[in-house]
Amino acid sequence: MANIMWLQGGACSGNTMSFLNAEEPSACDLVTDFGMNVLWHPSLGMELGDNLQQMLKDCVSGAIKLDIFVFEGSVVNAPNGTGEWNRFAGRPMKDWVRELSDAADFVVAIGDCATWGGIPATAPNPSESQGLQFLKRDHGGFLGKDFKSKAGLPVINIPGCPAHPDWVTQILVGIATGRAGDLALDEFQRPKTFFQSFTQTGCTRNMHFAYKVSATEFGQRKGCLFYDLGCRGPMTHSPCNRILWNRVSSKTRAGMPCLGCTEPEFPFFDLAPGTVFKTQTVMGVPKDLPAGVDKKGYIKLTGAAKAAMPAWAEQDIFVV
């Protein structure tokens, strides 16, 4: 039996909603089939008031063994580093986060806000938000870059806005069943099993990407969303087109550009007007090129791809 405590800081509950929609395994399966004991969760927890406060204290003291501490949402430090803008169970949430992180065998950050600060940490960051171990790309965050949980691992980051339920449940199952040692993490402490490939991997528009045919409107079935509509699929590490959403689709499959929400910089360009859903260019060339591609190579490839383009690439091949 693995004890899990799930708390929420500066957040919209999106990751909780996503988690509760998990199917394979479901949130209930975690309890009934995988031996997880959810001590408390913002939407599921039974304890209130003094009882909850006592439970938290018992986790900190070790009276209740805390196997996994899950945090959703940013760590709010405002005003002036006090954390008073986000109080929970009688004190600033950030104080609970610090003590529970020190007490837990494993610490898991769910969603962009908990991993890198996310939308709350967008400039000018009035809530003084941080992720648990990162602030955007800067290693450190609230717990500091040297933090390791009792099991010897740094914070396990499962980013996304929200994170896919399978990413959450599969990592929790892996930890709870004693296979945390199999987890390989990337430079941003994301499990490589999910975040080594790109959002573009498995995208149904890859043929249009290859032949440089652009979608020019949302919802269009033909064309690639990278060239004009700001899709970040070729630069974003996520399995969104391998592990489908609701088992059937993804943003790009539905004609909606990837926003790059599993990357530390999300939301990109601090949401400046004109930057969302529009590919940013410098002298006609995308500012952010597909990962590993340089400008010269990109221009050469474009010429070759266009010259070789078959006629069908310009047509809607997804006919009813």
Specify the amino acid at residue 320: V
- Residues in contact with 136: Cβ distance below 8 Å, sequence separation at least 6, in sequence order: 116, 117, 121, 264, 265
**Shortest distance, CB of residue 89 to other proteins, whole angstroms?**
46
For 80, how many CA atoms within 13 A lie in the half-sphere containing its CB?
A: 0
Instruction: Give the separation between CA 277 and CA 226, rounded to whole angstroms.
Output: 10
Considering only residues 265 to 284 of the shown chain, the ones binding other proteins according to CB under 8 A are 274-275, 278-284
Instruction: Give the separation between CA 40 and CA 277, rounded to whole angstroms.
Output: 38
Candidates 182, 187, 217, 294: give the one binding other proteins (CB under 8 A).
Answer: 217
Judged by CB under 8 A, does residue 227 bind other proteins?
A: yes
**Shortest distance, CB of residue 142 to other proteins, whole angstroms?**
34
SS (H, E, C) 87-101: EECCEEHHHHHHHHH
Considering only residues 297 to 316 of the shown chain, the ones binding other proteins according to CB under 8 A are 298-299, 302-303, 306-307, 309, 311, 314
Candidates 37, 53, 214, 249: give the one binding other proteins (CB under 8 A).
Answer: 214
**Shortest distance, CB of residue 209 to other proteins, whole angstroms?**
11
Instruction: Give the separation between CA 304 and CA 286, rounded to whole angstroms.
Output: 18
Cβ distance to other proteins smaller for residue 125 or 214: 214
- Residue 308, class by beta-carbon neighbours within 10 Å (0-12 exposed, 13-18 middle, 19+ buried)? exposed
Contact predicate 135/116, CB 8 Å: yes
Cβ distance to other proteins smaller for residue 2 or 229: 229
**Shortest distance, CB of residue 204 to other proteins, whole angstroms?**
19
Cβ distance to other proteins smaller for residue 115 or 200: 200
The residues binding other proteins (CB under 8 A) are: 212-214, 216-217, 227-228, 274-275, 278-286, 298-299, 302-303, 306-307, 309, 311, 314
